[in-house]
Structure 1
Amino acid sequence: MLQPMSGKELEYIADSISNEDLLLKQNAITASSTSNQQLKQLYSQAISQHQQHIQTLNNLFAQHQQLAPSQPQG
């Protein structure tokens, strides 16, 4: 059974999503600025990996929301 994550863990996941999104955008910009097809392909693969990472992290976040208490803990 999954245990609810701490606030610190949720912050880490949110930061990781932000970092993956930044890396995805940087790869997209770099891919669009090169005419070398081999490099474009490498950047495209990196973009796909970052998209997969973002999806995985979003799934973790969604799973936690299902476990989180609906009322603040006092």
Structure 2
Amino acid sequence: MLQPITAKELEYIADSLSNEDLLMKQNALLAASASNQSLRQIGQQMLHTHQQHYQTLMQSFQQHQSIAPTQPQQ
């Protein structure tokens, strides 16, 4: 059974999602535009890593969002 997390913790997850999204975009650009094959491969690997992070965070966010408090905790 999931334990409720605080609204602040949900904010941290949302911030992390935003950060992972930026990292995915940056690495996709590197993978698409680098003239060096090694850099393209690194960009693709890092893109995959950040996509996994994003998916894990999104799953956590969605699982806990429904049981998170709607009011600040005292």
If the length of structure 1 is used for normalisation, what is the TM-score? 0.84
The whole-number CA distance in structure 1 between the counterparts of 2:18 and 2:65 is 18
Query: Aligned-pair distance for 1:4?
Result: 1.1
Distance 2:59 2:34 in 1: 33
Q: Deviations over 1:11-68 (max 9, x none)?
A: 0000000000001101111222212111111110000000000000000011113434
Letter in 2 for 1:11: E
Q: Does 1:43 align with 2:51?
A: no
- Higher RCO, Cα 8 Å, sep 6+: 2
Letter of the 1:19 counterpart = N
For structure 2, list consecutive stretches of 5 or more residues without a partner in the other structure: none
The amino acid that maps onto 2:34 is T
Please tell me whether residue 19 in structure 1 is matched to residue 19 in structure 2: yes
Letter in 1 for 2:12: Y
Structure 1 residue identity aligned to 2:52: Q
Letter in 2 for 1:40: R
Q: Which amino acid aligns with 2:64?
A: H
Q: How many residues align?
A: 72
2:4 is paired with a residue of what secondary structure?
A: coil
Aligned-pair Cα RMSD in Å: 1.8
Runs of 4+ in structure 1 deviating by more than 3 angstroms, as ranges, are none
Percent identical among aligned pairs is: 63
